[in-house]
Amino acid sequence: MNGHRCNVLQAAFVVSFLVVAIGCAVGPTYHPPQAPDATRFPAEPLPDNTVATDTTGGQAQRFVARDIAATWWQVFENQELDALVKQALLDSPSLAQVSARLTQAREELDARQRAAKYPQVGVGGAVNVVGATTGGFASNELSQSLSSNLPLTLGLASVDVSYSLDLFGKKRYELESLAAAADYQRFQLEGSRLMLAGNIVTTAIEEASIREQLQRTEAIAALQSRQVEIVERLETVGGVARLEVIAQQGELARTRAVLPALRQRLAQTRHRLAVYLGQAPSAVKLPSFYLKDLHLPTELPLSLPSELARQRPDILAAEALMRAASARVGVAEANRYPQITLSGTGGAVAVSSLISGAGFALLGASVAQPLFRRGQLEAETRAAVAAFDQAQATYREVVLTSLQNVADVLVALDGDARTLQARKEIADRAREAYDITLGRYQSGGVSLRALLDAERQHLSAALDEVSAIASRYSNSAALFQALGGGWWTALPPEN
Protein backbone atom coordinates (compact mmCIF):
# COMPACT_ATOMS: atom_id res chain seq x y z
CA MET A 1 0.00 0.00 0.00
CA ASN A 2 2.82 2.37 0.86
CA GLY A 3 4.53 1.54 -2.44
CA HIS A 4 1.34 2.36 -4.33
CA ARG A 5 1.07 5.74 -2.57
CA CYS A 6 4.71 6.44 -3.42
CA ASN A 7 4.09 5.73 -7.12
CA VAL A 8 1.06 8.02 -7.11
CA LEU A 9 3.06 10.82 -5.52
CA GLN A 10 5.85 10.36 -8.04
CA ALA A 11 3.41 10.48 -10.94
CA ALA A 12 1.82 13.63 -9.55
CA PHE A 13 5.23 15.22 -9.23
CA VAL A 14 6.16 14.36 -12.84
CA VAL A 15 2.86 15.75 -14.14
CA SER A 16 3.32 18.97 -12.19
CA PHE A 17 6.85 19.30 -13.50
CA LEU A 18 5.70 18.79 -17.09
CA VAL A 19 3.02 21.48 -16.78
CA VAL A 20 5.59 23.98 -15.55
CA ALA A 21 8.32 22.97 -18.01
CA ILE A 22 6.14 23.04 -21.11
CA GLY A 23 5.56 26.72 -20.50
CA CYS A 24 9.32 27.20 -20.80
CA ALA A 25 9.62 26.03 -24.44
CA VAL A 26 12.35 27.99 -26.18
CA GLY A 27 13.40 28.82 -29.72
CA PRO A 28 12.23 31.02 -32.63
CA THR A 29 8.94 30.81 -34.48
CA TYR A 30 9.53 30.70 -38.24
CA HIS A 31 7.61 33.19 -40.38
CA PRO A 32 7.67 32.93 -44.20
CA PRO A 33 9.34 35.91 -45.90
CA GLN A 34 7.22 38.58 -47.51
CA ALA A 35 6.73 38.49 -51.26
CA PRO A 36 8.47 41.15 -53.39
CA ASP A 37 6.53 44.41 -53.47
CA ALA A 38 7.53 45.26 -57.05
CA THR A 39 4.66 45.67 -59.52
CA ARG A 40 6.62 44.97 -62.73
CA PHE A 41 9.90 43.40 -63.74
CA PRO A 42 11.77 45.87 -66.02
CA ALA A 43 12.30 49.46 -64.96
CA GLU A 44 10.53 50.73 -68.08
CA PRO A 45 7.16 49.38 -69.30
CA LEU A 46 7.26 47.19 -72.39
CA PRO A 47 4.98 47.45 -75.42
CA ASP A 48 1.98 45.15 -75.52
CA ASN A 49 3.29 43.43 -78.67
CA THR A 50 6.71 42.95 -80.19
CA VAL A 51 7.33 44.02 -83.79
CA ALA A 52 6.75 41.49 -86.57
CA THR A 53 9.04 40.57 -89.47
CA ASP A 54 8.22 38.63 -92.64
CA THR A 55 10.61 35.73 -92.09
CA THR A 56 10.95 32.48 -90.17
CA GLY A 57 10.38 33.17 -86.47
CA GLY A 58 9.32 36.72 -87.18
CA GLN A 59 5.81 36.65 -85.70
CA ALA A 60 4.76 39.32 -83.22
CA GLN A 61 4.60 38.17 -79.60
CA ARG A 62 2.42 39.49 -76.80
CA PHE A 63 2.51 38.89 -73.05
CA VAL A 64 -0.57 37.40 -71.39
CA ALA A 65 -1.26 37.08 -67.66
CA ARG A 66 -1.86 33.35 -67.45
CA ASP A 67 -0.45 30.29 -65.76
CA ILE A 68 2.28 28.13 -67.26
CA ALA A 69 1.73 24.53 -68.31
CA ALA A 70 4.08 21.97 -66.76
CA THR A 71 4.88 20.80 -70.30
CA TRP A 72 5.70 24.34 -71.40
CA TRP A 73 8.07 23.23 -74.17
CA GLN A 74 5.07 22.06 -76.20
CA VAL A 75 4.45 25.68 -77.22
CA PHE A 76 7.11 25.14 -79.91
CA GLU A 77 4.76 22.57 -81.50
CA ASN A 78 7.43 20.04 -82.38
CA GLN A 79 6.57 16.45 -81.55
CA GLU A 80 10.16 15.23 -81.75
CA LEU A 81 11.28 17.91 -79.29
CA ASP A 82 8.41 17.00 -76.97
CA ALA A 83 9.42 13.32 -77.09
CA LEU A 84 13.07 14.14 -76.33
CA VAL A 85 12.22 16.22 -73.27
CA LYS A 86 9.89 13.57 -71.86
CA GLN A 87 12.46 10.84 -72.45
CA ALA A 88 15.19 12.87 -70.73
CA LEU A 89 12.97 13.52 -67.70
CA LEU A 90 12.65 9.75 -67.31
CA ASP A 91 16.20 8.63 -68.11
CA SER A 92 18.55 11.46 -67.13
CA PRO A 93 21.27 10.34 -64.66
CA SER A 94 21.50 13.84 -63.22
CA LEU A 95 17.80 13.72 -62.28
CA ALA A 96 18.29 10.24 -60.83
CA GLN A 97 20.94 11.64 -58.47
CA VAL A 98 18.73 14.46 -57.24
CA SER A 99 15.75 12.10 -56.91
CA ALA A 100 17.82 9.72 -54.77
CA ARG A 101 18.86 12.59 -52.50
CA LEU A 102 15.19 13.50 -52.08
CA THR A 103 14.33 9.91 -51.14
CA GLN A 104 17.19 9.87 -48.65
CA ALA A 105 16.02 13.12 -47.04
CA ARG A 106 12.44 11.87 -46.76
CA GLU A 107 13.51 8.56 -45.22
CA GLU A 108 15.72 10.32 -42.69
CA LEU A 109 12.78 12.53 -41.75
CA ASP A 110 10.49 9.52 -41.43
CA ALA A 111 12.99 7.70 -39.21
CA ARG A 112 13.35 10.66 -36.87
CA GLN A 113 9.59 11.25 -36.75
CA ARG A 114 9.03 7.64 -35.69
CA ALA A 115 11.77 7.88 -33.08
CA ALA A 116 10.27 11.07 -31.66
CA LYS A 117 6.67 9.90 -31.73
CA TYR A 118 7.03 6.47 -30.17
CA PRO A 119 8.91 5.26 -27.06
CA GLN A 120 12.05 3.21 -27.58
CA VAL A 121 11.29 -0.41 -26.67
CA GLY A 122 13.89 -3.14 -26.26
CA VAL A 123 13.46 -6.81 -25.37
CA GLY A 124 16.18 -8.71 -23.55
CA GLY A 125 16.72 -12.10 -21.97
CA ALA A 126 19.48 -14.17 -20.43
CA VAL A 127 20.01 -17.69 -19.14
CA ASN A 128 22.99 -18.43 -16.82
CA VAL A 129 24.16 -21.61 -15.09
CA VAL A 130 25.65 -20.98 -11.65
CA GLY A 131 27.67 -23.49 -9.65
CA ALA A 132 29.11 -23.19 -6.12
CA THR A 133 31.06 -25.19 -3.52
CA THR A 134 29.16 -26.09 -0.36
CA GLY A 135 31.94 -26.79 2.01
CA GLY A 136 31.93 -23.30 3.43
CA PHE A 137 28.39 -23.41 4.75
CA ALA A 138 28.05 -23.86 8.54
CA SER A 139 24.80 -25.77 8.37
CA ASN A 140 25.04 -29.30 7.01
CA GLU A 141 21.32 -29.24 6.18
CA LEU A 142 21.74 -26.09 4.07
CA SER A 143 24.81 -27.55 2.45
CA GLN A 144 22.95 -30.74 1.53
CA SER A 145 19.95 -28.75 0.21
CA LEU A 146 22.12 -26.63 -2.06
CA SER A 147 24.09 -29.62 -3.25
CA SER A 148 20.92 -31.27 -4.43
CA ASN A 149 19.91 -28.14 -6.43
CA LEU A 150 23.27 -27.10 -7.88
CA PRO A 151 24.13 -26.00 -10.47
CA LEU A 152 21.43 -23.27 -10.51
CA THR A 153 19.89 -22.05 -13.79
CA LEU A 154 18.99 -18.32 -13.70
CA GLY A 155 16.55 -17.06 -16.33
CA LEU A 156 15.80 -13.38 -16.93
CA ALA A 157 13.37 -11.83 -19.44
CA SER A 158 12.83 -8.07 -19.60
CA VAL A 159 11.30 -5.28 -21.66
CA ASP A 160 12.94 -1.83 -21.53
CA VAL A 161 10.98 1.29 -22.48
CA SER A 162 12.38 4.81 -22.64
CA TYR A 163 10.96 8.09 -23.87
CA SER A 164 12.68 11.46 -24.07
CA LEU A 165 10.42 14.36 -23.19
CA ASP A 166 10.62 17.25 -25.65
CA LEU A 167 9.93 19.93 -23.07
CA PHE A 168 12.03 22.65 -24.65
CA GLY A 169 11.34 21.86 -28.32
CA LYS A 170 14.62 20.25 -29.33
CA LYS A 171 12.98 17.30 -31.08
CA ARG A 172 10.42 19.56 -32.73
CA TYR A 173 13.12 21.81 -34.12
CA GLU A 174 15.18 18.85 -35.26
CA LEU A 175 12.17 17.48 -37.13
CA GLU A 176 11.44 20.90 -38.59
CA SER A 177 15.03 21.11 -39.83
CA LEU A 178 14.79 17.66 -41.43
CA ALA A 179 11.43 18.54 -43.01
CA ALA A 180 12.95 21.70 -44.46
CA ALA A 181 15.88 19.65 -45.78
CA ALA A 182 13.43 17.32 -47.52
CA ASP A 183 11.60 20.32 -49.01
CA TYR A 184 14.92 21.70 -50.19
CA GLN A 185 15.68 18.46 -52.04
CA ARG A 186 12.16 18.46 -53.51
CA PHE A 187 12.63 21.95 -54.93
CA GLN A 188 16.10 21.01 -56.09
CA LEU A 189 14.51 18.18 -58.05
CA GLU A 190 11.93 20.51 -59.59
CA GLY A 191 14.69 22.98 -60.45
CA SER A 192 16.76 20.22 -62.02
CA ARG A 193 13.81 19.07 -64.10
CA LEU A 194 13.23 22.64 -65.25
CA MET A 195 16.89 23.11 -66.10
CA LEU A 196 17.06 19.81 -68.00
CA ALA A 197 13.97 20.60 -70.07
CA GLY A 198 15.30 24.08 -70.78
CA ASN A 199 18.71 22.75 -71.77
CA ILE A 200 17.19 20.30 -74.24
CA VAL A 201 14.97 22.97 -75.79
CA THR A 202 17.77 25.53 -76.16
CA THR A 203 20.18 22.86 -77.44
CA ALA A 204 17.64 21.79 -80.07
CA ILE A 205 17.25 25.46 -81.05
CA GLU A 206 21.03 25.78 -81.24
CA GLU A 207 21.17 22.73 -83.49
CA ALA A 208 18.48 24.21 -85.74
CA SER A 209 20.42 27.49 -85.87
CA ILE A 210 23.66 25.74 -86.81
CA ARG A 211 21.91 23.77 -89.53
CA GLU A 212 20.49 27.00 -90.96
CA GLN A 213 23.92 28.62 -90.88
CA LEU A 214 25.36 25.57 -92.62
CA GLN A 215 22.73 25.73 -95.35
CA ARG A 216 23.25 29.44 -95.99
CA THR A 217 27.04 29.15 -95.92
CA GLU A 218 26.94 26.22 -98.33
CA ALA A 219 24.60 28.19 -100.64
CA ILE A 220 26.98 31.15 -100.68
CA ALA A 221 29.93 28.82 -101.24
CA ALA A 222 28.07 27.34 -104.23
CA LEU A 223 27.59 30.86 -105.68
CA GLN A 224 31.25 31.62 -105.19
CA SER A 225 32.23 28.30 -106.74
CA ARG A 226 30.28 29.15 -109.87
CA GLN A 227 31.90 32.56 -109.91
CA VAL A 228 35.36 30.94 -109.74
CA GLU A 229 34.46 28.80 -112.75
CA ILE A 230 33.46 31.93 -114.66
CA VAL A 231 36.63 33.87 -113.95
CA GLU A 232 38.76 30.80 -114.73
CA ARG A 233 37.14 30.58 -118.16
CA LEU A 234 37.63 34.31 -118.67
CA GLU A 235 41.30 33.92 -117.79
CA THR A 236 41.76 31.31 -120.50
CA VAL A 237 40.59 33.80 -123.13
CA GLY A 238 42.46 36.70 -121.59
CA GLY A 239 39.38 38.38 -120.17
CA VAL A 240 40.72 38.73 -116.60
CA ALA A 241 44.09 38.76 -114.98
CA ARG A 242 45.48 35.84 -113.02
CA LEU A 243 45.37 37.95 -109.85
CA GLU A 244 41.57 38.18 -110.04
CA VAL A 245 41.27 34.42 -110.34
CA ILE A 246 43.48 33.90 -107.29
CA ALA A 247 41.49 36.46 -105.30
CA GLN A 248 38.18 34.79 -106.15
CA GLN A 249 39.56 31.35 -105.28
CA GLY A 250 40.80 32.72 -101.96
CA GLU A 251 37.36 34.10 -101.14
CA LEU A 252 35.80 30.71 -101.88
CA ALA A 253 38.37 28.99 -99.65
CA ARG A 254 37.64 31.47 -96.86
CA THR A 255 33.92 30.68 -97.03
CA ARG A 256 34.51 26.94 -97.11
CA ALA A 257 36.78 27.24 -94.07
CA VAL A 258 33.72 28.22 -92.03
CA LEU A 259 31.99 24.91 -92.75
CA PRO A 260 34.18 22.51 -90.67
CA ALA A 261 33.71 24.62 -87.53
CA LEU A 262 29.94 24.65 -88.06
CA ARG A 263 29.87 20.88 -88.57
CA GLN A 264 31.95 20.42 -85.44
CA ARG A 265 29.54 22.56 -83.42
CA LEU A 266 26.62 20.59 -84.85
CA ALA A 267 28.15 17.27 -83.81
CA GLN A 268 28.97 18.52 -80.31
CA THR A 269 25.45 19.84 -79.91
CA ARG A 270 23.99 16.46 -80.75
CA HIS A 271 26.45 14.76 -78.38
CA ARG A 272 25.17 17.04 -75.62
CA LEU A 273 21.59 16.10 -76.42
CA ALA A 274 22.47 12.41 -76.13
CA VAL A 275 23.98 12.89 -72.68
CA TYR A 276 20.89 14.81 -71.54
CA LEU A 277 18.94 11.71 -72.53
CA GLY A 278 21.21 9.53 -70.41
CA GLN A 279 22.78 7.76 -73.38
CA ALA A 280 26.17 7.61 -75.06
CA PRO A 281 26.51 9.83 -78.17
CA SER A 282 27.12 6.77 -80.36
CA ALA A 283 24.19 4.79 -78.95
CA VAL A 284 21.27 7.10 -79.65
CA LYS A 285 19.50 8.08 -82.85
CA LEU A 286 18.44 11.70 -82.59
CA PRO A 287 16.04 13.62 -84.84
CA SER A 288 17.30 16.60 -86.82
CA PHE A 289 16.00 20.02 -85.87
CA TYR A 290 15.40 22.97 -88.23
CA LEU A 291 14.18 26.45 -87.46
CA LYS A 292 11.37 26.11 -89.98
CA ASP A 293 9.99 23.14 -88.00
CA LEU A 294 9.79 25.09 -84.73
CA HIS A 295 6.80 27.30 -83.97
CA LEU A 296 7.54 30.61 -82.27
CA PRO A 297 4.95 31.08 -79.48
CA THR A 298 2.96 34.22 -80.16
CA GLU A 299 1.54 34.38 -76.61
CA LEU A 300 3.96 34.39 -73.71
CA PRO A 301 2.97 34.06 -70.03
CA LEU A 302 3.72 36.79 -67.55
CA SER A 303 3.07 36.64 -63.81
CA LEU A 304 3.45 39.26 -61.10
CA PRO A 305 6.75 39.61 -59.21
CA SER A 306 4.92 38.66 -56.00
CA GLU A 307 3.89 35.34 -57.60
CA LEU A 308 7.42 34.57 -58.72
CA ALA A 309 8.57 33.88 -55.15
CA ARG A 310 6.04 31.02 -54.89
CA GLN A 311 6.85 29.56 -58.30
CA ARG A 312 10.58 29.43 -58.94
CA PRO A 313 12.17 26.29 -57.48
CA ASP A 314 15.42 28.06 -56.62
CA ILE A 315 13.57 30.66 -54.52
CA LEU A 316 11.58 27.97 -52.72
CA ALA A 317 14.76 25.97 -52.13
CA ALA A 318 16.44 29.04 -50.63
CA GLU A 319 13.43 29.53 -48.36
CA ALA A 320 13.66 25.89 -47.24
CA LEU A 321 17.29 26.44 -46.27
CA MET A 322 16.25 29.52 -44.31
CA ARG A 323 13.58 27.51 -42.50
CA ALA A 324 16.12 24.81 -41.67
CA ALA A 325 18.55 27.43 -40.34
CA SER A 326 15.78 28.86 -38.13
CA ALA A 327 15.09 25.40 -36.73
CA ARG A 328 18.78 24.89 -35.96
CA VAL A 329 18.65 28.06 -33.86
CA GLY A 330 15.88 26.40 -31.83
CA VAL A 331 17.98 23.24 -31.44
CA ALA A 332 20.96 25.27 -30.21
CA GLU A 333 18.82 27.13 -27.67
CA ALA A 334 17.11 23.94 -26.44
CA ASN A 335 20.52 22.33 -25.86
CA ARG A 336 21.07 24.84 -23.06
CA TYR A 337 18.22 23.34 -21.02
CA PRO A 338 17.79 19.97 -19.25
CA GLN A 339 17.02 16.88 -21.30
CA ILE A 340 14.57 14.59 -19.47
CA THR A 341 14.12 10.88 -20.22
CA LEU A 342 11.51 8.59 -18.66
CA SER A 343 12.38 4.90 -18.52
CA GLY A 344 10.84 1.70 -17.33
CA THR A 345 11.84 -1.95 -17.19
CA GLY A 346 9.55 -4.89 -16.59
CA GLY A 347 10.10 -8.62 -16.72
CA ALA A 348 10.34 -11.92 -14.94
CA VAL A 349 13.14 -13.86 -13.23
CA ALA A 350 13.28 -17.63 -12.61
CA VAL A 351 15.73 -19.74 -10.59
CA SER A 352 15.54 -23.45 -11.27
CA SER A 353 14.42 -25.61 -8.39
CA LEU A 354 14.07 -22.54 -6.15
CA ILE A 355 11.93 -19.87 -7.83
CA SER A 356 9.68 -20.84 -10.71
CA GLY A 357 9.06 -17.25 -11.79
CA ALA A 358 8.69 -13.80 -10.31
CA GLY A 359 7.72 -10.52 -11.96
CA PHE A 360 9.47 -7.22 -11.42
CA ALA A 361 9.13 -3.61 -12.63
CA LEU A 362 11.44 -0.61 -12.43
CA LEU A 363 10.33 2.98 -13.18
CA GLY A 364 12.58 6.00 -13.34
CA ALA A 365 13.44 9.31 -14.87
CA SER A 366 16.76 10.91 -15.70
CA VAL A 367 17.64 14.56 -16.12
CA ALA A 368 20.71 15.64 -18.06
CA GLN A 369 21.64 19.24 -17.30
CA PRO A 370 24.65 20.69 -19.15
CA LEU A 371 27.18 22.01 -16.65
CA PHE A 372 30.36 24.02 -17.20
CA ARG A 373 29.40 24.43 -20.91
CA ARG A 374 27.59 27.72 -20.80
CA GLY A 375 30.16 29.54 -22.92
CA GLN A 376 30.24 26.77 -25.51
CA LEU A 377 26.45 26.51 -25.79
CA GLU A 378 26.04 30.28 -26.03
CA ALA A 379 28.64 30.40 -28.80
CA GLU A 380 26.84 27.60 -30.65
CA THR A 381 23.59 29.55 -30.39
CA ARG A 382 25.22 32.70 -31.74
CA ALA A 383 26.71 30.66 -34.61
CA ALA A 384 23.26 29.26 -35.42
CA VAL A 385 21.80 32.78 -35.43
CA ALA A 386 24.56 33.94 -37.77
CA ALA A 387 23.84 30.98 -40.07
CA PHE A 388 20.17 31.99 -40.14
CA ASP A 389 21.15 35.58 -41.01
CA GLN A 390 23.27 34.21 -43.83
CA ALA A 391 20.34 32.10 -45.10
CA GLN A 392 18.12 35.19 -45.02
CA ALA A 393 20.64 37.18 -47.06
CA THR A 394 21.00 34.31 -49.52
CA TYR A 395 17.23 34.16 -49.94
CA ARG A 396 17.03 37.89 -50.67
CA GLU A 397 19.82 37.57 -53.21
CA VAL A 398 18.09 34.65 -54.95
CA VAL A 399 14.83 36.64 -55.15
CA LEU A 400 16.58 39.71 -56.57
CA THR A 401 18.49 37.61 -59.09
CA SER A 402 15.24 35.95 -60.16
CA LEU A 403 13.57 39.31 -60.69
CA GLN A 404 16.57 40.36 -62.75
CA ASN A 405 16.37 37.15 -64.83
CA VAL A 406 12.76 37.82 -65.79
CA ALA A 407 13.41 41.52 -66.46
CA ASP A 408 16.41 40.71 -68.65
CA VAL A 409 14.49 38.14 -70.68
CA LEU A 410 11.52 40.46 -71.21
CA VAL A 411 13.80 43.22 -72.47
CA ALA A 412 15.67 40.70 -74.62
CA LEU A 413 12.46 39.46 -76.24
CA ASP A 414 11.50 42.98 -77.27
CA GLY A 415 15.04 43.66 -78.45
CA ASP A 416 15.24 40.34 -80.34
CA ALA A 417 12.17 41.24 -82.37
CA ARG A 418 13.61 44.63 -83.30
CA THR A 419 17.02 43.11 -84.02
CA LEU A 420 15.54 40.50 -86.33
CA GLN A 421 13.62 43.17 -88.20
CA ALA A 422 16.80 45.18 -88.73
CA ARG A 423 18.94 42.17 -89.67
CA LYS A 424 16.35 40.90 -92.11
CA GLU A 425 16.44 44.29 -93.80
CA ILE A 426 20.25 44.24 -93.85
CA ALA A 427 20.31 40.68 -95.25
CA ASP A 428 17.82 41.54 -98.00
CA ARG A 429 19.80 44.63 -98.99
CA ALA A 430 23.10 42.72 -98.87
CA ARG A 431 21.71 39.99 -101.12
CA GLU A 432 20.35 42.60 -103.53
CA ALA A 433 23.65 44.48 -103.54
CA TYR A 434 25.54 41.25 -104.20
CA ASP A 435 23.33 40.34 -107.16
CA ILE A 436 23.75 43.84 -108.67
CA THR A 437 27.51 43.89 -108.06
CA LEU A 438 27.93 40.44 -109.57
CA GLY A 439 26.09 41.49 -112.75
CA ARG A 440 28.18 44.64 -113.03
CA TYR A 441 31.40 42.75 -112.44
CA GLN A 442 30.55 40.27 -115.17
CA SER A 443 29.98 43.17 -117.53
CA GLY A 444 33.16 44.90 -116.44
CA GLY A 445 31.41 47.74 -114.62
CA VAL A 446 33.00 47.21 -111.15
CA SER A 447 36.26 45.87 -109.81
CA LEU A 448 36.88 42.49 -108.25
CA ARG A 449 37.42 44.20 -104.89
CA ALA A 450 33.85 45.52 -104.98
CA LEU A 451 32.51 42.05 -105.77
CA LEU A 452 34.45 40.44 -102.93
CA ASP A 453 33.20 43.07 -100.48
CA ALA A 454 29.63 42.40 -101.59
CA GLU A 455 30.15 38.65 -101.10
CA ARG A 456 31.46 39.09 -97.55
CA GLN A 457 28.61 41.40 -96.58
CA HIS A 458 26.09 38.98 -98.07
CA LEU A 459 27.48 36.04 -96.05
CA SER A 460 27.79 38.03 -92.82
CA ALA A 461 24.28 39.45 -93.08
CA ALA A 462 22.79 36.03 -93.80
CA LEU A 463 24.44 34.49 -90.72
CA ASP A 464 23.43 37.45 -88.55
CA GLU A 465 19.81 36.97 -89.57
CA VAL A 466 19.93 33.30 -88.55
CA SER A 467 21.38 34.24 -85.15
CA ALA A 468 18.61 36.79 -84.62
CA ILE A 469 15.95 34.18 -85.43
CA ALA A 470 17.49 31.66 -83.03
CA SER A 471 17.66 34.27 -80.26
CA ARG A 472 13.89 34.77 -80.43
CA TYR A 473 13.31 31.05 -79.93
CA SER A 474 15.93 30.73 -77.17
CA ASN A 475 14.72 33.74 -75.19
CA SER A 476 11.13 32.57 -75.49
CA ALA A 477 12.22 29.33 -73.80
CA ALA A 478 14.24 31.34 -71.28
CA LEU A 479 11.11 33.23 -70.20
CA PHE A 480 9.33 30.00 -69.32
CA GLN A 481 12.37 28.95 -67.29
CA ALA A 482 12.72 32.33 -65.57
CA LEU A 483 9.08 32.20 -64.46
CA GLY A 484 9.50 28.74 -62.91
CA GLY A 485 8.41 26.36 -65.67
CA GLY A 486 4.89 25.60 -64.41
CA TRP A 487 5.84 22.55 -62.31
CA TRP A 488 3.06 23.42 -59.85
CA THR A 489 0.41 22.87 -62.52
CA ALA A 490 1.43 19.26 -63.15
CA LEU A 491 -1.21 16.64 -62.49
CA PRO A 492 -0.48 14.25 -59.61
CA PRO A 493 1.05 10.96 -60.77
CA GLU A 494 -1.33 8.10 -61.39
CA ASN A 495 -1.33 5.28 -58.87
* Tens digit of each residue's pLDDT (9 = 90 or more) over 404-437: 999 999 999 999 999 999 999 999 999 999 999 9
Q: According to the model, what pLDDT value does residue 480 have?
A: 95
Q: Cβ distance 173 to 334 under 8 Å?
A: yes
Q: According to the model, what pLDDT value does residue 141 have?
A: 60
Q: According to the model, what pLDDT value does residue 1 have?
A: 46
Q: According to the model, what pLDDT value does residue 4 have?
A: 44
**Does 151 sit behind a cis peptide bond, omega within 30 degrees of 0 on the bond before it?**
yes
% helix, strand, coil for the chain, step of 5: 65, 10, 25
Q: According to the model, what pLDDT value does residue 288 have?
A: 95
Q: For residues 190 and 406, give the distance between their C-alpha atoms in angstroms, rounded to a whole number.
A: 18
Q: According to the model, what pLDDT value does residue 398 have?
A: 94
Q: Is 125 left (phi over 0), alpha (psi -120 to 50) or beta?
A: beta
Q: Which of 452, 34, 387, 468 is nearest to 231 (CA)?
A: 452
Q: Map residue 281 onto helix, strand or coil.
A: helix
Q: Map residue 158 onto helix, strand or coil.
A: strand
Q: According to the model, what pLDDT value does residue 23 have?
A: 47
Q: How far, CA to CA in Å, does 449 sit from each of 136, 366, 438?
A: 128, 97, 11
Q: According to the model, what pLDDT value does residue 15 have?
A: 45
Q: For residues 226 and 230, give the distance between their C-alpha atoms in angstroms, rounded to a whole number.
A: 6
Q: According to the model, what pLDDT value does residue 427 have?
A: 94
Out of 3.40.640.10, 1.20.1600.10, 3.40.50.150, 1.10.287.3510, select the CATH number for domain 29-118+168-337+373-489. 1.20.1600.10
Residues of the chain with pLDDT under 50: 1-9, 11-16, 18-23, 137, 142, 146, 493-495
Q: Which of 300, 295, 314, 313 is nearest to 82 (CA)?
A: 295
